[in-house]
Amino acid sequence: MAFDFYMPDIGEGVVEGEIVAWKVKEGDRIKLDQVLVEVMTDKATVEIPSPRAGVVKKIHYKDGDICPVGKVLVVIEEDGAPASASNGSSTQHEAPRAHAPVAASAAPVAAASGGTQIEVVDVSDTRARVLATPATRRLARQLGVEIGRVPATGKHGRVTTEDVRRFQQNGAPAATPASARPQPAPVSIPSTGAEERIPLRGMRKRIAESMTRSVQTAAHFTYVEEIDMTELVTVRERAKDKAAERGVKLNYLPFIVKAIVSGLKKWPQLNASLDETTQEIVRKKYYHIGIAAQGPHGLAVTTVRDADKRSIFDLAKEIERLGEAVRNGTATREELTGSTFTISSLGKLGGVLATPIINFPEVAIVGVHKIEEKPAVRNGQIVIRHLMNLSISVDHRLADGWDGAMFLQDVKALLEDPTTMFMEMI
């Protein structure tokens, strides 16, 4: 009997996934729990196993396609009678419930795959799944609208916030969907010689989409300041041995995190996001600092949660742990989401200056550049100092140039006088 396997829930708020790579093809005989496909959602890749043994009859989405949650992913011709993981019964067309826990466990897979494998639980439901973001669902609850009755005009049949508002106001959908901004025609690159064509998918495609959205939405401006790190270089050298005794590799990033958190407490408009649904500026009272790190599949932002409550040594240990997880491809969704402000640093390769792109929907991002010994004028004398540039890109919709400049001046003051920084931490 043919079994329709629907794209399962992979995480809270996830409404679709990109097909990274199929591990089977049509006509293949598969076993129960055999990996069918790698799927990417946000910045986490998961391997989805088969809930049935049998033969792959029909694959509905090819590599690079976007499959909405609740749509048929693959059809399996079953071997013998099907058995449900939930109650021992099964139907031919099974779709996961809107809030069914399909990810019962998550375990790291080989570093080469860069993802996690989930345990998929079959759950029967005769109702069609409603595709909508958490913000849209919240709006529907606030307006007393039953979201299942709202006609969808969004991509892949998704209910949008405009659909909900229109339904609440009119009790019926508008005759035509809301008009969208015209998009430029796709650029075609003709072949003119020896070349290699690599499909844009997976992590690289997600990075491209995220960066494009940030640039097209946030009104970027960048401010740069030179930092005299000489005193902090001395402090860090003195602290390295103590850190090593605790198994911690101490670099400058934990000190920079502490200075930034202190600055954010004075300038809360930079530790914020814009709720586009409600048109509210959301200022966060918590400090989850994103650290942009290069992994085997591209740039990833790991999240150091509650950075304001951590010591310098604790920050160093957590940053190192998260960086290792990215390099091994084992970072979890929890470790790759939820940041409120991001730091982008290439360490010794940091260069002189960069204009980092905001990690949308955050308000700002700081770029950390390399520390170099350079001549500087102090008290009318030319002396050698350890100098470094910090750059900050800010969303001008939510913060002004004054805010960004004053924030960076406060960070500068703390980094140049570590004693003051430690006083701020108490």
Per residue in 186-228, pLDDT (tens digit) is 778 888 889 888 888 777 877 888 888 899 889 999 999 999 9
Q: Where does the pLDDT of residue 88 fall: very low under 50, low under 70, confident under 90, or very high at 90 and above?
A: very low
- Per-residue tokens: 372: 């170099």
How many whole angstroms separate alpha carbon 342 and alpha carbon 364? Answer: 7
The rounded distance, in Å, linking the Cα atoms of 158 and 135 is: 13
Which one, of 391, 163, 167, 399, lies nearest residue 267 by Cα? 399
Q: Are 249 and 242 in contact (CB under 8 A)?
A: no
- In the annotation, is 396 catalytic? yes
Q: Compute φ and ψ for 107, nearest 5 degrees.
A: -135, 145
Identify the H or E element spanning 137. Answer: helix 134-143
> What is the pLDDT, as a whole number, of residue 273?
94
Q: Which residues contact 187 (CB under 8 A, 6 or more apart)?
A: none
In 172-258, the DSSP E strands lie at 220-228
How far apart are alpha carbons 74 and 39 in whole angstroms?
13
Q: Please state, in angstroms and rounded to a whole number, the distance separating the CA atoms of residues 219 and 393.
A: 10
Q: State residue 236 phi and psi, 5-degree precision.
A: -65, -40
Q: Mean pLDDT lowest for which of 95-99, 131-135, 297-301, 359-363?
A: 95-99
**Confidence grade of residue 43 (pLDDT, cut at 50, 70, 90):** low
Asked if residue 133 has pLDDT above 90, the reply is no
Identify the pLDDT of residue 216: 87
Cβ atoms < 10 Å from Cβ of 287: 22
Mean local confidence (pLDDT), 92-114: 34
Give the separation between CA 354 and CA 260, rounded to whole angstroms. Answer: 18
Name 204's Cβ contacts closer than 8 Å, sequence gap at least 6: 297, 298
E strand or H helix at 29: strand 29-30
Structure confidence at residue 329 (pLDDT): 79
Q: What pLDDT score was predicted for residue 15?
A: 76
Whole-number Cα distances in Å, 425 to 239, 262, 268, 277, 310? 17, 8, 17, 36, 10
Q: For residue 320, how many C-alpha atoms fall within 13 Å in the half-sphere facing its CB?
A: 14
**Residue 153: what residue type?**
T
Whether 157 shows a pLDDT value over 80: the answer reads: no
pLDDT attached to residue 11: 65
pTM, 2 dp: 0.66
Q: Which of 60, 156, 386, 396 is catalytic?
A: 396
Mean pLDDT of 52-65: 92
pLDDT-derived band at 129 (thresholds 50, 70, 90) equals low
pLDDT 10s digits, 141-155: 778 888 878 888 876
Q: What is the mean pLDDT of the chain?
A: 81
pLDDT in tens, 253-274: 999 999 999 999 999 999 999 9
CA–CA distance, 336 with 38 (Å, rounded to integer): 18
* 147 three-state secondary structure: helix
- Within 10 angstroms of residue 225's Cβ, the number of other Cβ atoms is 15
Contacts of 418 (CB under 8 A, 6+ apart): 231, 232, 235, 255
DSSP state of 200: -
**Phi, psi at residue 118, to the nearest 5°?**
-110, 155
